[in-house]
Amino acid sequence: MAAANGSGGGKGFEVPKVEVRFTKLFINGHFADAVSGRTFETRDPRTGEIIANIAEGDKADVDLAVKAAREAFDNGPWPRMTGYERGRILHKFADLIDQHIEELAMLDTVDAGKLFLVGKVRDIPGAAHLLRYYAGAADKIHGETLKMAQRMHGYTLKEPVGVVGHIVPWNYPSTMFFFKVSPALAAGCTVVVKPAEQTPLSALFYAHLAREAGVPDGVLNVVPGFGPTAGAALAAHMDVDKLSFTGSTEVGRLVMKAAAESNLKSVSLELGGKSPIVVFDDADLDMAVNLVNFATYTNKGEICVAGTRIYVQEGIYDAFVKKAAELAKKSVVGDPFNPRVNQGPQVDKDQYEKVLKYIDIGKREGATLVTGGKPCGDKGYYIEPTIFTDVKDDMSIAQDEIFGPVMALMKFKTVEEVIQKANNTRYGLAAGIVTKNIDIANTVSRSIRAGAIWINCYFAFDPDAPFGGYKMSGFGKDMGMDGLEKYLQTKTVVTPLYNTPWL
């Protein structure tokens, strides 16, 4: 496969000049330095070089942001607007995103190593699409009229939950920002966002655009910082009514503990995954190989639903391994600004070293390295697309979320066997099934314990399709009307009825 750092895709492409316009905290409608005056570095994973120094928020800054959000919720116009009025502002917010697609995609490329072309075509337009979906839902929030058993008139109200803390991961900075912020704002909540310290740039730009769109001061606050300081302060804050976290299962435990030990705030968690893809003998082989390649290596494997446990039925297993290895070897690893590149760098040095460590563990535990497994390029955090065979279900590379371009291939015989294997994980985020047999598809999709099942497709996300996990992949849904519901609480209102002709 081709080398990294631009040579991988050949020459003839231009790296755009990236201007970082926003590096300070955004609190109560204004950009400001951290109370401490401290900053931290955000680095370009293509080279390891510093992009910018970002204001480092900690507990004092979180306190200020939550205070602003509390005031905006308790006394400001946002939750008191009609849903239609909120929706109009959110539509304008989405229009401004559309006007800055290229600049936002550049920021996610230099900050997270994401493919620039994919950012322009999918990530940033997808963020605007999701925002518009919830803008359209903002005036469709309603309760129910109750048929009481007594002479009472009862109804329910759906009210915004209040101040929401959002802790956003680094792998999809724009997508995950709007997974969380869009429904919360549509519901009438006010929010404090703690973006990942690896990827704060686009979140600060979105704060600027929200202000330009007319989102009132204090409604959207962005506090970059580190998990043990800013994130912990947000999770434990007594004036935060709800917390939504996406990240590792280990940190998810800490978030739940902090919520329980503070004000028992509501928590939703989207955590790790180790998603299986099951390929049956009747599958179209080329389609299956391409789908699995896409499922494993998209975003350099840095995606919670990556299909990394690949179960292939014995009748096509050998042919599948051969074609999968050939396809992986053709992958171009290099500068994510190069339109011919398939895979950019891992997000930072820590993640790069973690992936390489798991590749070494796979070899030491007895799996067979078929292709890849090495760093590539002379700088930056690039790793070859990697395939292991002879993988056992209890190996670390089959059980642990690696979050990198590593595929574990395993053979199976029967439907019953593969259902047991697919469920042999502490996670339950997603799964894929590749078959032409509708009966097999129905049986397996209902038997795998995961929150999303994709049949003859993968990454089939849609604003109307709820997404979230089973087991240790967390609880609570993003997207769809389920994603809006978690930022609402139900109030029951009852009044007596006197001299009414009917109940």
Among all residues, which ones are annotated catalytic? 270
C-beta pairs of 316-322 under 8 Å, 24+ apart in sequence: 316/279, 316/281, 316/283, 316/285, 316/288, 317/409, 317/411, 319/285, 320/279, 320/285, 320/288, 320/289, 320/409, 321/370, 321/387, 321/389, 321/409
d(CA 468, CA 458) in angstroms, rounded, equals 15
Both tokens assigned to 81: 């607007």
Select from 382, 386, 409, 384 the least CA-distant residue to 398.
Answer: 409
Place of tokens 């074609």: 323
CB burial string 142-171: b at 16+ within 10 A, e below: eeeeeeeeeeeebeeebbbbbbbbbbbbbb
Three-state helix/strand/coil letters over 20-72: CCCCCEEECCEEECCCCCCEEEEEECCCCEEEEEEECECHHHHHHHHHHHHHH
Side chain identity at residue 366, one-letter code = G
Backbone angles phi, psi at 52, to 5 degrees: -160, 165
Question: Do residues 151 and 497 make contact, with C-beta atoms less than 8 angstroms apart?
Answer: yes
